[in-house]
Amino acid sequence: MLKIPIKTQNITSLRQSDIQKIRQDFPILNTTVHGKPLVYFDNANTPQKPQVVIDSVNDIYTKYYSSVHRGVHCLSEKSTRLFEISRDKVQNFISAKHREEIIFVRGTTEAINLVAQSFARPQLKPDDEILMTTMEHHANIIPWQMVCGQTGAKLKVVPINDNGEIIFEEFIKLLNPRTKLLAVVHVSNSLGTINPIEKMIEAAHQQNIPVLIDGAQAVVHQKVDVRKSDCDFYAFSGHKLYGPSGIGVLYGKKALLEAMPPYQGGGNMISQVTFEKTIYNTLPYKFEAGTPHIAGVIGLGAAIDYIDNIGLDKISRYEKYLLDYATQSMQEFSDIRIIGSAQKKASILSFIFEHIHAHDVGTILDQEGIAIRTGHHCTMPLMARFNVPATARASFAFYNTIEEIDVFLQGLKKIKEVFHV
């Protein structure tokens, strides 16, 4: 088996001693599966949670839980203060200009639906176009199909090459006066491709086309700066960022958000209500109807603190090291085809075994204690582009190790033995 020397000081800035300390922060990594130590390579789906996030959520419910923004008693005031501190943390994490530009939602999916219905739908007319790429997640396809069905607008799709990269020349050709929005994924959950969003945004803005970025897979791997990229909207989920599930963020430029009507009606998003008329609250609360996911927001703040303490630059370099090792090691398997070989990739490795279905690959690896993802990964049009029904996907986080990848490689050999190939 191909071995790559571990030189973490020079390659990753995270030493092996750092990784071992980090692993101790994640209690689930001590789990055994089918009597074998857990090797968790399903991080693109959802990574595991550090103890500080678990503790933050536990503290909320055991020490100071109360609804936010509505009480004058001590518990409510403390919950509200920590809730709004988390908003400040998100603002700093993605370098937003205003804290009012941070809207808490349930996840990336709700964030995109909010923009589709509140921003795009009122403006779209028949034969207007929404532009996206072949590699979009269903969450960045279906909301736009729905709004097109409601308005008569049309979807246009940027093609990709065999490496899983957008064909930039074709993208430029598709931009035209009918294009009313570009909705594009920052990092593909199926391929790992890191799209050149700054170039894409610049090209779109030259024609006054607003841009929404699906950042669910990006914020966990690299520094996101919404002011530098100049995107109009950016969406991501807390659970992808080592935080709780059921919480997410929509960033939007303040002027755009102020002009948009509310997405939902209810408590907290109002300033005054009569039976004749409602005056809506100011940003960001205009888009945060009802009692929010208080524990989720505060837990997300704890997750951001944890990531910031390690450093996304270190995380990115170390995860690239793991990806390079796994990619090079898998080249010894002549019957494995890697799907997605973009020059710029996050730590996502999708592959197929010739003559072996991805679900069988996942099942056998599970018996070895190895958790990977199998299926279409909510990217069925992308699977069709590569003419495959499904892939197996191993995705790496900064708590994973070279030794775990070696266990994974042995698991791939076990699959060959089982199927006599």
Which residues are the active-site residues? 378
Q: How many CB atoms lie within 10 A of CB 168?
A: 15
| CA of residue 357 relative to chain centroid, distance | 26
| 3-state SS, residue 157 | strand
For 45, phi and psi rounded to 5 degrees? Answer: -75, -60
The Cα–Cα gap between 363 and 24 comes to 27
For 160, phi and psi rounded to 5 degrees? Answer: -125, 160
The Cα–Cα gap between 94 and 228 comes to 10
The Cα–Cα gap between 131 and 386 comes to 21
- DSSP type of residue 138: G
Tally of helices (H runs) and strands (E runs) in the chain: 15, 17
For 66, phi and psi rounded to 5 degrees? Answer: -165, 160
Residue from 241, 237, 251, 213 nearest 107 by CA: 237
For 76, phi and psi rounded to 5 degrees? Answer: -65, -40
In the chain, the amino acid numbered 166 is I
Q: Which stretch of DSSP H or E encloses residue 131? A: strand 129-133
**Angular region, 371: left φ>0, alpha ψ -120 to 50, beta rest:** beta
What DSSP line would sit under 83-127, residue for residue?
A: HHHHHHHHHHHHT-S-GGGEEEESSHHHHHHHIIIIIITTT--TT
How much of the chain is in helix, strand and coil states, percent to nearest 5?
A: 45, 20, 40
The Cα–Cα gap between 93 and 165 comes to 27
Q: Which stretch of DSSP H or E encloses residue 369? A: none
| 3-state SS, residue 17 | helix
